[in-house]
Chains A and B, each alone.
Chain A
Amino acid sequence: MNNFLVLGALIFAIGAYGVLTRRNVVFIFMGLEIMFSGVGITLAAFAQHIQPASALGQIFILFILTVAAAETALGLAIFLRLAKTHGTVQADKINELKG
């Protein structure tokens, strides 16, 4: 089980690195997805090794998956709108709330 947990932490760290260093907002979203997957792996590892008879772990991951997919879709839609009005895709240039 320890291998799985370290793997989950590693994937989460890689995703966090992506979110912190990228300028393009789409890359930031990709880093977010990687972080979600890392969390999912950690949860599944705990669910399998601590309490394999209960379905709670898998259901939790199912809900996280669904909400993450919905959030990604909506976030990318917002980003498309922002990119059109601000005229750029860089995260540090989109720094005005108006418009």
Chain B
Amino acid sequence: MSLWQLLYEPDRWADEINKLITNWGLQLGIPVFITQLFLMIVVAVILLSFILLNVAFLTWLERKVAGHIQVRHGPMRTGPHGILQPVADGIKLLFKESITLPFVDNFIYTLSPAMMFTAAMLTYIVLPFAPGWVVAPLDYGLIFVFAAGGVSSFFVFTAGWSSNNKYSLLAGMRTIAQVISYEIPMILAALGVALFAGSLNLVEIVEAQKGLWNIVVQPLGFLLFLTAALGETHRAPFDLLEAEQELVAGYMTEYSGMRFALFYLGEYTHMFAAAALMTTLYLGGWQGPYLPPVVWFLLKAYALVLLIMWFRWTYPRIRIDHLMNFSWKFILPLALINLGVTALVLVW
């Protein structure tokens, strides 16, 4: 297996390893489904480590980007250019005291960050990182992403609710109102892409963009999806609910230590998942001229992540009622028009 094949044709390579291990298992007398279970566990571990490393890197990137936009250096002391800052943050959060509050429903209080993080991580199993490197090429991958996002938003609400704190409750209610308001235009914009590709399978959507990326064919859809994704992952400029100057810390107020770390990581996971989904749907996934496919995918996803971070430190925040008005009265009709025009163009 040459280096070229390793980098540029990863699907054949993954297939060969799969067959090798299955045959080896059959020779030893192990039934097929146990070797497949073992392979699934290995793939899951690889995916989890990728997500966690990425998210840790993103927290450092956010602070550096924020610093440089505000004409200062970000973290510079821990390691060269502060690259070990996430490690320092992780150690600090691990050692922080998890304060057990009175009058808090402990079961839901503990369950919410875990479920939110899990549901945010679920979206990664349908994303195609390279040809053949999809953990689960589901036939309805696009809807699966939105289903997982919807489940994670419910646990944001229960986090605010179980905290026995008026401000957390208010922030939780507003957060979930915002998330479900922006989920609908997101699904409609993504449906325009699905109409073009003729399938809801993310792998087929990427392969249908072989000649022309979808951002050229559906520019309005891309802008709508970007805005709606910003609203759904409650990033700026839609982050009134967790900004430092408003409502204390929103639904995360009463959380400290590792539980807070889970929420924080969950938000970055969600953001990177939205960026990766946008590259899959609109920017052609892993396609590109000279570099290996995985590198292209990561480049595009990180370009979008940098764009999202740039938005955070450039625009002022939008008030909650303006935000809801914006979603229902502006973004949703535009998404419907986009879908209608796409369908008309395809029929003709």
- Do any beta carbons of A and B sit within 8 angstroms of each other in the complex? no
